[in-house]
């Protein structure tokens, strides 16, 4: 019998990637079909995020709904994976006894065994251990969906920023052997993938000590894989954004002109309290040198507003940094205290209203930058990789520029998904561009 699987994913691209792997791993052990309707499912999985309190609380409200479904369908399997699972472990089963399996980001490959054990023993199963890189040795060959793919190159994080739970939920940095990464990319390319995004919390901490290959070395090799025409990576950390990596943007044309480089704050006092390991000036120097190496590079970032003790002056320093760097886009968040992290114990005098006002000012400035950048691309010619039909109009196609802008266009005739085509940019909308084939 084919079982139906519903997965609800919260949080970052790592979680999106892990969810795709859950489908693959369950599909390799039994006939599985995915569904968008939780009511139809035989297995419901929540891939959770604990980076902010809101995301964490959302999981428990959604779990309540799954419990109602289980009341109607007693054989329904409910699983909780991801960072909340990793942090809470057994406590999830205590709080929600109808949950059948709890697994962490590093044990998702054990999902079929955990579900079987649940069925055999009648008891909920919890496995949130960190068996290092074992996960990848047990994953089936990657499935290809379209001309782009994500490839995880490093798991976990060893930076211990004072506000962040990730090092505790995903474990410390462990790189995959470069030969495994390259083999996976070659297999993807053989199946028609033209663009890969190398994935990790801090991809530029990647190291294959055995083969003496650092992150830049890996990029060089990935660019050599036949069939791969464009290479992206996310997320990188300013602390390890080496001169060698910057210089790679001048000599590796397949590297996309886009870098997501979280800065968090423009105040050195706050950056030190966050334990980020760089100053605002050092960050700006990276951006300046990167633009010298690759003039059309677009930079996006992450910001935390209202970190404990952030004064108006600190916030102004962040706004100045935004003006200096001209970010193409950004994710920005109000600081959310996370249990078990050092910053959670710091005194915090700034009111919630003030934090929200700062967030809105910051977002307005980024939106303004983003609009200006979009408008500056009008009239230019851009090469896009066609990813599929346009979201709003399936008669049209959607492609992405090297600097990560989505471009929708009416095809002339011969363009197909997976092709790189040259477009003239005719109009800039708030979050996308319109183009026409040349
Ligand atoms: N590896 C990335 C880096 O170099 O900073 C960040 C990964 S983190 C999961 C993604 C983003 O979530 C961070 O860049 C930060 O802006 C935000 N974040 C993390 N902890 C947070 C907290 N306690 N409150 C608000 N935002 C937070
Ligand atoms: Fe979190 Fe800092 Fe690592 S934001 S994921 S501890 S680089």
**Ligand 1: centre distance to CA 113 (Å):** 32
Q: Is 202 in the pocket of ligand 2 (CB under 6 A)?
A: yes
Residue 134, pLDDT score: 75
Q: Is 13 in the pocket of ligand 1 (CB under 6 A)?
A: no
How many angstroms separate the Cα of 3 from the Cα of each of 17, 36, 70? 21, 13, 15
Tokens of 365: 């400035």
Tens digits of per-residue pLDDT, 155-189?
A: 999 999 999 999 999 999 999 999 999 999 999 99
DSSP string, 303-349: EEES-TT--HHHHHHHHHHHHHH--SEEEEEE----TTSGGGGS---
Q: Is 344 in the pocket of ligand 1 (CB under 6 A)?
A: no
Residue 133, pLDDT score: 65
What is the position in ligand 2's atom list of the atom closest to the CA of 160?
6
Residue 430, pLDDT score: 87
Q: Is 276 in the pocket of ligand 1 (CB under 6 A)?
A: no
Residue 376, pLDDT score: 95
- Confidence band of 56 (pLDDT split at 50, 70, 90): confident
Q: Is 338 in the pocket of ligand 1 (CB under 6 A)?
A: yes
Q: Is 235 in the pocket of ligand 1 (CB under 6 A)?
A: yes
Tens digits of per-residue pLDDT, 233-290?
A: 999 999 999 999 999 999 999 999 999 999 999 999 999 999 999 999 999 999 999 9
36: how many CB neighbours lie within 10 A of its CB?
Answer: 8
Q: How far apart are CA 394 and CA 263, in angstroms?
A: 37
**Ligand 1: centre distance to CA 189 (Å):** 32
Q: Is 335 in the pocket of ligand 1 (CB under 6 A)?
A: yes
What is the position in ligand 1's atom list of the atom closest to the CA of 264?
16
Tens digits of per-residue pLDDT, 96-138?
A: 999 999 999 999 999 999 999 999 999 999 999 988 767 788 8
Q: Is 189 in the pocket of ligand 2 (CB under 6 A)?
A: no
Mean pLDDT for the stretch of residues 203-230: 97
Residue 58, pLDDT score: 85
Does the global pTM surpass 0.85? Answer: yes
**Ligand 1: centre distance to CA 403 (Å):** 23
Nearest ligand, measured from the Cα of 56: 1
Q: Is 50 in the pocket of ligand 2 (CB under 6 A)?
A: no
Tens digits of per-residue pLDDT, 91-104?
A: 999 999 999 999 99
Q: What is the DSSP letter of 390?
A: -
Nearest CA to ligand 2 atom 1: 164
317: how many CB neighbours lie within 10 A of its CB?
Answer: 20
CB 175 within 8 A of CB 219: no
DSSP string, 212-262: TEEHHHHHHHHHHSTT--EEEEE---GGG--HHHHHHHHH-TTB-SEEE--
């Amino acid at each position: 019998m084919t079982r139906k699987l519903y997965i609800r994913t919260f949080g970052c691209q790592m979680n999106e990637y892990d969810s795709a792997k859950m489908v693959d791993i369950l599909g390799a052990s039994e006939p599985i079909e995915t569904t968008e309707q939780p009511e139809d499912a035989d297995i419901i999985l929540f891939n959770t995020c604990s980076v902010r309190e809101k995301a964490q609380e959302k999981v428990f409200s959604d779990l309540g709904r799954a419990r109602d479904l289980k009341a109607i369908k007693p054989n329904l399997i409910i699983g909780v994976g991801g960072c909340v699972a990793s942090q809470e472990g057994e406590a999830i089963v205590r709080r929600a006894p109808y949950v059948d399996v709890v697994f962490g980001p590093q044990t998702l490959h054990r999902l079929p065994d955990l579900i079987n054990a649940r069925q055999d023993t009648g008891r909920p199963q919890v496995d949130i251990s960190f068996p290092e890189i074992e996960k990848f040795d047990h994953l089936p060959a990657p499935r290809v969906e379209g001309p782009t793919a994500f490839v995880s190159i490093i798991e976990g994080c060893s930076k211990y920023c004072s506000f962040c739970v990730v090092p505790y939920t995903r474990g410390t940095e462990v790189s995959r052997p470069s030969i495994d990464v390259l083999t996976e990319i070659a297999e993807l390319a053989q199946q028609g993938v033209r663009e890969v995004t190398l994935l990790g919390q801090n991809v530029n901490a990647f190291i294959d000590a055995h083969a003496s290959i650092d992150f830049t070395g890996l990029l060089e090799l990935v660019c050599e894989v036949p069939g791969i025409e464009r290479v992206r990576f996310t997320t990188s950390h300013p602390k390890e954004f080496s001169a060698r990596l910057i210089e790679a943007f001048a000599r590796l044309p397949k590297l996309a002109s886009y870098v997501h480089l979280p800065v968090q704050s423009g105040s050195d006092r706050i950056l030190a309290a966050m334990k980020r390991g760089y100053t605002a000036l050092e960050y700006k120097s990276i951006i300046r040198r990167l633009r010298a190496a690759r003039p059309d590079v677009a930079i996006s970032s992450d910001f935390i507003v209202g970190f404990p003790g952030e004064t108006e002056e600190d916030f102004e320093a962040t706004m100045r940094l935004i003006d200096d760097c001209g970010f193409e886009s950004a994710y920005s968040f109000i600081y959310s205290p996370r249990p078990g992290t050092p910053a959670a114990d710091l005194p915090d005098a700034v009111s919630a209203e003030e934090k929200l006002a700062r967030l809105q000012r910051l977002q307005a400035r980024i939106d303004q930058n983003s609009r200006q950048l979009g408008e500056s691309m009008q009239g230019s010619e851009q090469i896009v990789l066609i990813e599929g039909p346009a979201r709003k109009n399936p008669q049209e196609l959607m492609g992405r520029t090297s600097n990560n802008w989505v471009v929708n266009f009416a095809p002339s005739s011969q363009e197909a998904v997976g092709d790189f085509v040259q477009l003239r940019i005719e109009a800039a909308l708030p979050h996308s561009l319109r183009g026409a084939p040349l």
